[in-house]
Structure 1
Amino acid sequence: MPKKKSSKKSGGRPSGRPGGVSAPKMKRGMPPHRVAEDQQLAAALERQDTAAVAFALRNDYCIVPLLPGSGPEQIRVFRAEDAEKFMLLLFSSPERYVDMVPQEPSHRFLAYDGPTLRDFLEQNVDNLEAVVFDVAGPHSMQADPREVLAALQLEV
């Protein structure tokens, strides 16, 4: 599952297309007690607890960035200049996403629950080299996409 992100700088943030439009609202029906400040994923990342991150991904929501622009909703993935595969960046709150790309005038995102994230990973795991949580901090972690998928597929 996730590993604590190294404190060494690797040349800055991942590059992505700048721009965007108004962010869509969080999914309707999200329980009111699941606000960003109390989110399970944020708490798990703060503790750097891989088991708690897996639990949060299965049982809570995470923020998934969308490509900027007015086109159809497409998940925004990032690629290092010399990489063949992409990185999926997930966030514990919309604010953590904004921290990563503050220069953008607006930020499009969706709130994914565990089953939705699992479906996305099942379709795209072969194109991903990493899943990075809260890349702009303060408590970043990184995981192998196959390990994240395995955690989401666990039958409890």
Structure 2
Amino acid sequence: MAGKKRAKKESMEFRNTQLADALQTQDMAAVAFALRHGPTVVPLMRPGQRDNPLDVGEVWTYRDPNTGQVALLLFSDAKHKPETLPPGVALQSPEWLKSFLSTYEEQITTVFFDIAGPHPLQAAPADLIAALEV
């Protein structure tokens, strides 16, 4: 019985309801507010080491084999992450997102939120950085 409660609790932790609601309405101001005030679910190629709080893991990005362009996929809820992506996820803060986008702004061409639905949204890294700075 305890295992079921723990699994349910963990799935509840890996989401940002405010971001999901903003994506549903496609309201960019609400998306920006949700990003500034809540976490974002980030897919990981390699999860961080539990014993090292500074190790956040290796973020998974998609590189188009034809163009070489890189996309960052972010999610409002871990349940929206397609099964074809690596299984690991992290819940990252607005500060982390801003730092990551600022560091890799030149390499990342686009950012997709909930790419497989239910309410996908695409944005430029520069626009998200600006939204996080307000």
TM category (shorter chain) comes to 0.7 to 0.9
Higher helix share: 2
Say whether 1:144 aligns with 2:121: no
Query: Following superposition, which runs of at least 4 residues in structure 1 exceed 4 angstroms of deviation?
Result: 68-72
| Deviation string, structure 1 residues 22-67 (Cα, Å, up to 9, x no partner) | xxx97xxxxx8x774x711000000111111111110011100000
| Match in the other structure for 1:67 | 45
**CA distance 1:103–1:114, shift in 2 (3 Å):** closer
Alpha-carbon distance between aligned partners in 2 of 1:92 and 1:120, rounded to the nearest angstrom: 17
> Which residue type is aligned with residue 129 of structure 1?
T
> Which residue type is aligned with residue 125 of structure 2?
P
3-state SS, counterpart of residue 119 of structure 1: helix
Gaps of 5+ in 1: 1-24, 27-31
| Match in the other structure for 1:134 | 114
> Which residue type is aligned with residue 65 of structure 1?
P
3-state SS, counterpart of residue 105 of structure 2: helix
Say whether 1:83 aligns with 2:83: no
| Match in the other structure for 1:15 | none
Alpha-carbon distance between aligned partners in 2 of 1:70 and 1:111, rounded to the nearest angstrom: 12
Percent of pairs identical after alignment? 34
TM-score normalised to structure 2 length: 0.78
Aligned-CA RMSD value:
2.6
Alpha-carbon distance between aligned partners in 2 of 1:69 and 1:96, rounded to the nearest angstrom: 18
1:80: Cα distance to partner? 1.6
Say whether 1:53 aligns with 2:31: yes
Gaps of 5+ in 2: 1-8, 50-54
Alpha-carbon distance between aligned partners in 2 of 1:58 and 1:40, rounded to the nearest angstrom: 11
Higher strand share: 2
Alpha-carbon distance between aligned partners in 2 of 1:136 and 1:35, rounded to the nearest angstrom: 17
Alpha-carbon distance between aligned partners in 1 of 2:38 and 2:94, rounded to the nearest angstrom: 7
TM-score normalised to structure 1 length: 0.68
Higher RCO, Cα 8 Å, sep 6+: 1
**CA distance 1:51–1:74, shift in 2 (3 Å):** same
Q: What is the number of residues matched between the two proteins?
A: 119
3-state SS, counterpart of residue 116 of structure 1: helix
